[in-house]
Structure 1
Amino acid sequence: MDPIVIIGGGIIGASLAYNLRNTPRPVVLYERNALGSGTSADSVALFVWHQSTPDRLSHKLRCRSWEYYEPLVDDETLSYEQIGTLDVAKTAAEAASLREVTETIEAFGAEATFLEPDSLSEHGLNPDAVTGAMSTPEDGYMDPSEIIQHYIREATDAGVTVETQTAVTDIVTEDGRVTGVETEIGDHSAATVVNTAGPWAHTVNEMVDVSLPLRHNRGPVVVLQKDTSFSLPFIQFGDGMYFRGEGHNQAFAGNFGARYENAELLNPAGARSIDHDFYLRIDDRIQEAIPRLEGVELANEWVGVRTLTPDGVPIVGKTDVSGFYVGAGMNGIGVTLAPAIGEYLADVIEGDSVDSDVQSYLSPARFS
């Protein structure tokens, strides 16, 4: 029996392998490097109820993901540091907008509160530099490698085959449907091929002439460290700059990068460096608004690549090529959505019933 082939061993591919582990058809996952070595490794690993642009279906997917994560966090299979999110306003107009967002997210069922400037000093912010913030206190961060290893362990125990350090170099089609894959170590037949290749998703789509509007942006991350202990929630500003506590004496500082309309296609394997101006912007923002981080020193840095879609919603489901499916364009919230996306995509592949609203929301056909 020809297998279901999954291309990409990041958090989405691992989730899909887990959710397909009991299907009667063999399942093979190919990862070009090590498991979780791409976008998953470069992320700041947040699970967030926060949304800057509230969307009820996105909230529904988050709820489904947390139904999976919560018992694993409770029994300490997975770690979760609940630090909360502060979406910070610096102008009266931003504050008014965030008040409306807060009300909408509360109506969805998430815990959200708008905090006035005077109450923000206890969270490490300078109240004189801001006009308030939306707080979603149940947000936190996880360990992507821990999640991926859990998924892969469960999948392989059930019979899924995982091949790392094995790039898929082409996808074979015949009469409009996939029939196999070519890899660095040989050619293999396939009944189904699923593109969960993260930043490489566009390249994989090109193998079967599937055109989907995926673009990349650069996500610089700088690790800051102090000799003394401190805590910090996830703090994000309207210009895309963010800070996130890490452990007892570190913080991440980063930027969400270009929006889709200003983004482009990048070489995911290309060398990437942080502009010196970014260090200056971080220092300026700390001096202006985050006194708790004064005196930090640079401990590490990297630049990740995020995959974006025009509407900020992942592209998940079947394509016009029979047997070829895609699960890509996580827009920086792959950790948040991975359990729900993997479960949904497995149901689509196996022909099980799915929520019609979610199907329309995620479907590649919305860009036809």
Structure 2
Amino acid sequence: MPLGLLKYALSKEHPAPRFFRDCTEPKKSYDAVIIGGGGHGLAAAYYLAKDFGITNVAVLEKGYIGGGNTGRNTTIVRSNYLTPEGVNFYDASVKMYEDLSQELDLNLFYSTRGHFTLAHTDSAMRTMRWRAEVNKHVGVESRVVGPDEISQACPQLDISCSGQAPIQGALYHAPGSVARHDAVAWGYAKEADRMGVEIFQSTEVTGIDVKSGKVVGVNTSKGYIETNRVLSAVAGFTPRITEMVDIETPIVIHPLQACVSEPMKPWLDTILVSGSLHVYVSQSSRGELVMGSSLDPYEMHSTRSSLDFVEGLTSHIVDMFPFLSNVKVVRQWAGMADLTPDFAPIMGKTPVEGFYLDAGWGTWGFKATPISGKTMAETMARDIAPDLIEPFRLTRFEDYELTGEKGAASVGH
């Protein structure tokens, strides 16, 4: 069998198909332009084509597909948030993820692991009980568990955390999962392209043309494009895009760093998060420990990683798992987290007609990829935001109707 596969791989008669076409020159006009070739932008393009038959769509990516926050996150998928609005939204995304590999005809390595949010203090335990009750109220499986159940699920964990911060309990969220982040982006790109969407890499948006309060076109590094619908889905670059249409948002940008260890035999079957220690960790299908920490405390548009981050993170990892002291960190990186004051996204219409915003994702954007794409596609097609994302409208900050998700962002604050 391996020899047969090798013959097929080297055969000129059976070249491997491209995931999507090599589009180089944009057309004069499109029915919709999506700025950002990450998971959210590509998902929106896919659902525009699939659900609404809108295929004359251009996706413009300054770098390469999935090269932004989509390729820089730690792959966790969950819905154990704090507000009913947030829980319902992310639960819809989890349900979509469960069948997404089949829908996109691509193995996304989606793996349900169970998600433990560890509590080290009495106040943290109160928050876990609060979140569990909200989750149960809207039908999402989450419950508070004690140290014995945590140890049973992960016997390698030192419950005392080297005596520094003993674990009192946790919020256990059974549907918590991981998925291959770049595969999600490429899967959406493949299927969107198959339906006629054009994807342009290395294509920078330099301006958005607005006349009489309406979008009429986009200036790019490859020329001018006429369109009356533009979606911005650029994560940490959001302020640069909103400036082009003179829209103010409360978004601030903080670097968020992560790293992976050398591969090892699989032993960590679940996902562990500690808001007190500012640590989250899971093990990939390749055996790497995928680890992250809290936001960097300063505002900066940068993806540079630091020694301070990896020193602080690994010291807490060793508190939790002393036997990992000799394991090597092989790679570290950073993304740009676009944060809002209430730790919830900004989705939907804006004061500029035809300009739509998918932003403010902070540390929780990857898990929302399918549902954000589907709801933003509906918003663009009908010019009406569906009820599911109405709580995330931009005007909530003017109306003082915030969606307070800070307590559920775990290590995002």
TM over 0.5: yes
- Alpha-carbon distance between aligned partners in 1 of 2:269 and 2:354, rounded to the nearest angstrom: 46
- Alpha-carbon distance between aligned partners in 2 of 1:243 and 1:232, rounded to the nearest angstrom: 11
- Which residue number in structure 2 is paired with residue 290 of structure 1? 321
Matches for 1:104-253 after TM superposition, within 5 Å: 104-122=134-152, 123=154, 124-128=156-160, 129-225=166-262, 227-239=264-276, 240-247=278-285, 249-253=287-291
Alpha-carbon distance, 1:294 to partner: 4.0
Aligned residues: 358
SS of aligned partner of 2:99: helix
- Which residue number in structure 1 is paired with residue 91 of structure 2? 63
Cα 1:316–1:288 change in 2 (3 A) is same
Cα 1:293–1:48 change in 2 (3 A) is farther
- CA contact 1:117–1:131 (8 Å) conserved in 2: yes
Cα 1:300–1:20 change in 2 (3 A) is same
- CA contact 2:303–2:334 (8 Å) conserved in 1: no
SS of aligned partner of 1:88: strand
SS of aligned partner of 1:20: helix
Structure 1 position 255 matched with structure 2 position 293: yes
Cα 1:222–1:271 change in 2 (3 A) is closer
Alpha-carbon distance, 1:178 to partner: 1.3
- Which residue number in structure 2 is paired with residue 337 of structure 1? 368
SS of aligned partner of 1:120: helix
Residue by residue, what CA displacement relative to the aligned partner does 1:7-64 show, whole Å, maximum 9, x if unpaired?
001111011101111444721111011111001000011111222xx11122222232
SS of aligned partner of 2:134: helix
Cα 1:192–1:294 change in 2 (3 A) is same
Moved more, 346-355 or 203-212: 346-355
Moved more, 317-326 or 58-67: 58-67
- CA contact 2:98–2:110 (8 Å) conserved in 1: no
Provide the alpha-carbon RMSD of the alignment: 2.2
Normalised by the length of structure 1, the TM-score is: 0.90
Q: What amino acid does structure 2 have at the position aligned with 1:19?
A: Y
Alpha-carbon distance, 1:232 to partner: 4.6
Structure 1 position 41 matched with structure 2 position 71: yes
Question: Percent of aligned positions with the same letter in both sequences?
Answer: 25
Gap runs ≥5 in structure 1: none
- CA contact 1:10–1:198 (8 Å) conserved in 2: no
- Alpha-carbon distance between aligned partners in 2 of 1:25 and 1:311, rounded to the nearest angstrom: 35
> Which of 264, 279, 289 is the equivalent residue of 2:310?
279
Gap runs ≥5 in structure 2: 1-28, 161-165, 399-413
- Alpha-carbon distance between aligned partners in 1 of 2:397 and 2:331, rounded to the nearest angstrom: 39
- Alpha-carbon distance between aligned partners in 2 of 1:79 and 1:366, rounded to the nearest angstrom: 37
- Alpha-carbon distance between aligned partners in 1 of 2:54 and 2:173, rounded to the nearest angstrom: 42
SS of aligned partner of 1:94: helix
Normalised by the length of structure 2, the TM-score is: 0.80
Residue by residue, what CA displacement relative to the aligned partner does 1:239-275 show, whole Å, maximum 9, x if unpaired?
33222222363212211315xxx663x33xx451213
Moved more, 120-129 or 169-178: 120-129
- Alpha-carbon distance between aligned partners in 2 of 1:249 and 1:25, rounded to the nearest angstrom: 39
- Alpha-carbon distance between aligned partners in 2 of 1:243 and 1:2, rounded to the nearest angstrom: 42
- Which residue number in structure 2 is paired with residue 31 of structure 1? 61
- CA contact 1:87–1:235 (8 Å) conserved in 2: yes
SS of aligned partner of 2:67: coil
- CA contact 1:117–1:130 (8 Å) conserved in 2: yes
- CA contact 1:2–1:26 (8 Å) conserved in 2: yes
Alpha-carbon distance, 1:308 to partner: 1.1
Alpha-carbon distance, 1:227 to partner: 4.7
Moved more, 19-28 or 185-194: 19-28
- CA contact 1:118–1:127 (8 Å) conserved in 2: no
- Alpha-carbon distance between aligned partners in 2 of 1:24 and 1:120, rounded to the nearest angstrom: 48
SS of aligned partner of 2:71: helix
